[in-house]
Amino acid sequence: MHFDGGDARVPHTSLPFAHQATVLPSPTECILIWEASISCNSCHSPKGGESEEDMYRDAEEIEREKELLVCGTGTSVFPENKLSVAPEVDIMDYCQKEWRGNTSSAKRMRKGYEAVSQKFISIRRVRGDNYCAVRATLFQALSQTLQTPDWLQREDILLLPEKLMAKYVWITEWQKPTGKAENWTDEIKECLLLLKQKWESISAAKILTEKQAACDELFRGEEDEYSLYEAVKFLMLNTAIKLYEDNEKGLEVPEFSWLLFARDTSSNPFQLMKNHLNQLGHTGGLEQVEMFLLAFALQHSIHVYRLYKYGTDEFITLYPNHPREGWPVVTLITEDDRHYNIPVRMCEETSF
């Protein structure tokens, strides 16, 4: 089967169950600049003129790092102590530092953070490039894992690239942020193997601090970290293909898959790969409907506190809408539906 590709991307799709909202640059309190940017790169900037470590890199710096990795240096442009997920800080201390003003936006954010603080004590900032949604989700999944997921233990998991290549020639159009993959099946197989090995290794850690330390070591902007993202992107593509084929056969599919393929730029899996997944981590992040695809690909429920939606029934959004039995839960925080941070240390005797 051959799917024709499309060209240009379109703005974020407005979903009935996860509405796209006006973007509030975080933590800047001026909401008038949001139309100038659609990427995670510019969704956060320190305010108050305070000097602090900047985790939010521009596109040039990301590309310079990728070039170093491709050249085989195995090194990063970041200092050794610069993590892709920053150490935890008290969530209300972070809120007061980031949202000090008296604008309606700042007041709403403070109320949102206060509500989150009833459940979680601390927050970890996530590096703000176009991988941030995938990075935050995968970091959470790995840092709290108790066992390797069944789907990742399947014997045929490493055969998926060859199976898809044999069925869909258009997969040769797969691109990494650094360019077209030279040997697609081998590269993706290596990425999947790395994901499996890392998940098994972290699952084997007996105590939480060991898991956290292993994740901190892995998420440092080095080659292994980006290889994990390639594996996740492939799993998203594989999931999308299955949903598309099931729908073509008249089988029941989750509602989000209709919306996923209703977009002009992703009417089929080929277009989804070409116009969206190929851009993920390079020129674009995840759109709202693709958060559902990420959840299904990893078989994890993603719960998101959407702070700018405080006071509405959309303050907490679930991907998928109805939790699947047996799926682990990861929790994220967003101020604008583009950049995601991680709440940690759940308060005693509370639940999401």
* 351, 35 contact by CB (below 8 A): no
Please report which residue ranges of the chain form alpha helices under DSSP H: 59-70, 91-98, 104-117, 132-143, 150-153, 160-167, 184-204, 208-218, 223-248, 255-260, 269-272, 288-298
Task: Tokens 């899996």: give the residue.
Answer: 269
In this structure, what token pair is assigned to residue 26?
Answer: 């975080």
Question: What pLDDT is recorded for position 176?
Answer: 67
Catalytic residue among 132, 191, 282, 337: 132
Please say if 44 is a catalytic residue: no
pLDDT 10s digit of each residue in the chain, 352 long? 444 443 333 333 334 334 333 333 333 333 323 333 333 433 444 333 333 434 444 444 445 444 433 333 333 333 445 789 999 999 999 999 999 999 999 999 999 999 999 999 999 999 988 999 999 999 999 999 999 999 999 989 999 999 999 999 999 888 865 555 568 888 999 999 999 999 999 999 989 999 999 999 999 988 999 999 999 999 999 999 999 999 999 999 999 999 999 999 999 999 999 999 999 988 889 999 999 999 999 999 999 999 999 999 999 999 999 889 999 999 999 999 999 999 998 876 444 4
Question: What pLDDT is recorded for position 230?
Answer: 94
Please say if 132 is a catalytic residue: yes
Instruction: Give pLDDT tens digits for 140-163.
Output: 999 999 999 999 999 899 999 999
DSSP per-residue codes, 90-140 = EHHHHHHHH--S-SHHHHHHHHHHHHHHTTEEEEE-B--STTHHHHHHHHH
CA distance 242 to 233: 14
Does the N-terminal peptide bond of residue 328 adopt cis geometry, omega within 30 degrees of 0? Answer: no
Question: What pLDDT is recorded for position 117?
Answer: 96
Other Cβ atoms closer than 10 A to 301: 20
**CB neighbours of 318 closer than 8 A, spacing ≥ 6?**
301, 302, 303, 304
Catalytic residue among 12, 43, 44, 129: 129
**CB neighbours of 169 closer than 8 A, spacing ≥ 6?**
2
**CB neighbours of 308 closer than 8 A, spacing ≥ 6?**
21, 22, 24, 105, 108, 109, 112, 335, 336
Question: What pLDDT is recorded for position 94?
Answer: 97
The edge-to-edge listing of strands for the beta sheet with 301-306 is 89-90, 120-124, 340-346, 329-334, 301-306, 316-319
Please say if 303 is a catalytic residue: no
Q: Where are the domains of the chain?
A: 31-346
Other Cβ atoms closer than 10 A to 33: 11
Burial class of residue 82, CB neighbours in 10 A (0-12, 13-18, 19+): middle
In this structure, what token pair is assigned to residue 98?
Answer: 């980031």
CA distance 299 to 314: 22
Question: What pLDDT is recorded for position 74?
Answer: 37
In this structure, what token pair is assigned to residue 151?
Answer: 């789907």
CA distance 26 to 99: 9
Question: What pLDDT is recorded for position 40?
Answer: 42
Q: Angle 230-197-154 (CA atoms, 0-180°, nearest 5)? A: 85
